[in-house]
Amino acid sequence: MAVDLGKMADLLIAGKVEDVSGMVQEAIDEGMASQEILQSGLIAGMDVVGQRFKACEMFIPEVLRSAKAMSKGMEKLRPLLIESGATMAGTFVIGTVKGDLHDIGKNLVAMMFEGAGFKVVNLGIDLDTQVFVDAVKEHKPDLLGMSALLTTTMPKMGEVINALKEAGIRDQVKVMIGGAPVTEEFAKEIGADVYGANAGSSVDKAKEVLAA
């Protein structure tokens, strides 16, 4: 019997990590196309998670469990997607700026982007400005995300944007910023392209900007 991708999506929404991983492997073993598993199983589930998170019908611990299920499924699927030359939604590089050590919010955003079909490069935390510049040169992302949890580290975001300009690569990537103290006004002030108010809305805003 063919694997039920609708059931896979439901299990992902419920945060059933091992069940999702097992169903992905089962679908692969059956010869199901990797793109179909991704779109109709994993992404379909994460779409619902994103909608419920934005509507405050799911909360961060639940979203993290769903995102972990997505990540486990992707571990099995990613090599096949690369091998098949499947088109991703885009490449997203993300990290927290120098002096900022928080991780949960950044990782949640990274997982939501992965769930939306992006190739995600998670650089980590407490990063020097040059790390972001080098990552843009190396990975050539469609979108660079920066996160800050402290007002004292927010100016580092502007420094990264200026460094991208000095390196001559600012026009090669859209820049999204977010984090608890960050506002849309601040994003405009430093020349960012996208303000991500929260993990759920960040994906939608990024898609709008990339499609423009």
Q: Residue 13's pLDDT band (boundaries 50, 70, 90)? A: very high
Mark whether 14 and 72 lie in a shared domain: yes
Mark whether 106 and 79 lie in a shared domain: no
Q: What is the pLDDT of residue 109?
A: 86
Mark whether 108 and 173 lie in a shared domain: yes
Mark whether 80 and 106 lie in a shared domain: no
pLDDT per position as a tens digit, 140-174: 999 999 988 888 999 999 999 999 999 999 999 99
Domain that holds residue 188: 90-211
Number of domain units in the chain: 2
Q: Which of 84, 101, 130 is the last residue of a domain?
A: 84
More confident residue, 83 or 94: 94
pLDDT per position as a tens digit, 165-210: 999 999 999 999 998 889 999 999 999 999 988 776 788 888 888 8
More confident residue, 166 or 211: 166
Mark whether 80 and 94 lie in a shared domain: no
- Tell me: pLDDT of 14 over 90: yes
Q: What is the pLDDT of residue 1?
A: 64
Q: What is the pLDDT of residue 156?
A: 95
The sign of the dihedral angle between the CA atoms of 118, 119, 123, 124 is positive
Can you list the positions of beta strands (E) in the chain? 90-97, 118-127, 143-147, 174-178, 194-196
Taking residues 114-127, report their average pLDDT: 88
pLDDT per position as a tens digit, 39-93: 899 888 988 887 888 788 988 889 888 988 988 998 898 888 777 766 678 899 9
Mark whether 28 and 63 lie in a shared domain: yes
Q: Which of 84, 104, 127 is the last residue of a domain?
A: 84
Q: What is the pLDDT of residue 115?
A: 75
Q: What is the pLDDT of residue 22?
A: 95
Q: What is the pLDDT of residue 71?
A: 85
CATH number of 163's domain: 3.40.50.280
Mark whether 111 and 59 lie in a shared domain: no
Mark whether 80 and 98 lie in a shared domain: no
Q: Residue 117's pLDDT band (boundaries 50, 70, 90)? A: confident
